[in-house]
Amino acid sequence: STSNLRNKDLTQIKFMASKELRQIKKKTLQAIDEVENEFLKKLLTDILIAGPYKEKFFLAPGAKSYHHAYRGGLAEHTLQVLNAALKMVEAYEKEVKINKDLIITAAILHDLGKIDSYKYDEHGNIQVTDIHKKINHISRTVEIVSKYIPLEKENELTKHLIHIILSHHQFKEWGSPVEP
C-alpha cells in the first residue's frame, strides 16, 4: 500500500535502473570470459551463467542496511570489488607472481552466499532470511562453491580460492572464519 511508502524516507532508498543492471551483468560476464584457467572458468560458468544463481545473483541486494542494500546491490558490490582487485593486480603483477584468474574468480564469488541471506517482503523491504540467521554469508558461499568443486579437482588452487572467500573480511572479529 502507499501508506508504507509515505512512512519511508525515499531519499535513503536507491533504485537501480535496468540499464545499470545490464551494464553490471555485461561487465561481470566479460570478466568471466577473460579467465583462462579452464577449471575456474567452468566454475564461474556453472554457478553464474548456467546454474541456478544466474538471475538471482544480479538482482539480490548486497545487505539489509549497510552497503549496497538495494536490488542489484550484490552484483554492483561484486563488480566494485573485482575492479579494485584488478587494479591491485595491475599495480603489482610486474613485481610479484599473481594468479589473475584466481583473483577474478575469488572477487566474483566472495559474497555469493548473500544470495540466500536476504529477501524482499511484501512492501519491498529487505529482510534477513532464516538461512542467514543460521549460516553467515561467508560459510554459505563456501558451501555453494564447494558443491561445484569435484573431489578429484581439489588442489592448491581450490584451497586458495576457498581460503580467500573464508578470509575476505580479514579479521575473525569482522566475521571471517579464518584470517588471511
Task: Summarize pLDDT for 70-124 with one digit per residue, the tens.
Answer: 888 899 999 999 999 999 999 998 999 999 999 999 999 998 988 887 888 888 7
Query: Does residue 164 form part of some domain?
Result: no
Does residue 101 sit within a domain? yes
pLDDT higher at 173 or 77 = 77
How far apart CA 145 and CA 115 sit, in angstroms, is 13
Strands (DSSP E) contained in 14-144 are 118-120, 126-128
105: number of Cβ within 10 Å: 28
Where is pLDDT greater, at 136 or 82?
82
pLDDT for 12 beyond 80? no
Q: What is the pLDDT of residue 17?
A: 61
Mean pLDDT of the chain, nearest integer: 81
Q: Is residue 151 part of a domain?
A: no
Q: Quick one: pLDDT band at residue 36, thresholds 50, 70, 90?
A: very high
* pLDDT confidence tier of residue 2, bands split at 50, 70 and 90: very low
- pLDDT for position 127: 81
50, part of any domain: yes
157 within domain boundaries: no
Total structural domains within the chain: 1
Q: Strands 118-120 and 126-128, how do they pair?
A: antiparallel
Q: Is the pTM here over 0.85, yes or no?
A: no
Residue 32 has pLDDT above 90, yes or no: yes
Band of pLDDT at residue 14, cut at 50, 70 and 90:
low
Work out the pLDDT band at 176, boundaries 50, 70, 90: very low
pLDDT of residue 9: 46
> Is the separation of the CB atoms in 118 and 129 below 8 Å?
yes
Asked whether residue 92 is domain-assigned, the answer is yes
User: What is the C-alpha to C-alpha distance for residues 114 and 172, in angstroms, rounded to an integer?
Assistant: 18
145: in domain: no
Domain that holds residue 118: 2-6+17-133
Question: Cα–Cα distance between 98 and 90 in angstroms, integer?
Answer: 10
Tell whether 116 is covered by a domain. Answer: yes
In the block, residue with C-alpha cell 552466499: 113
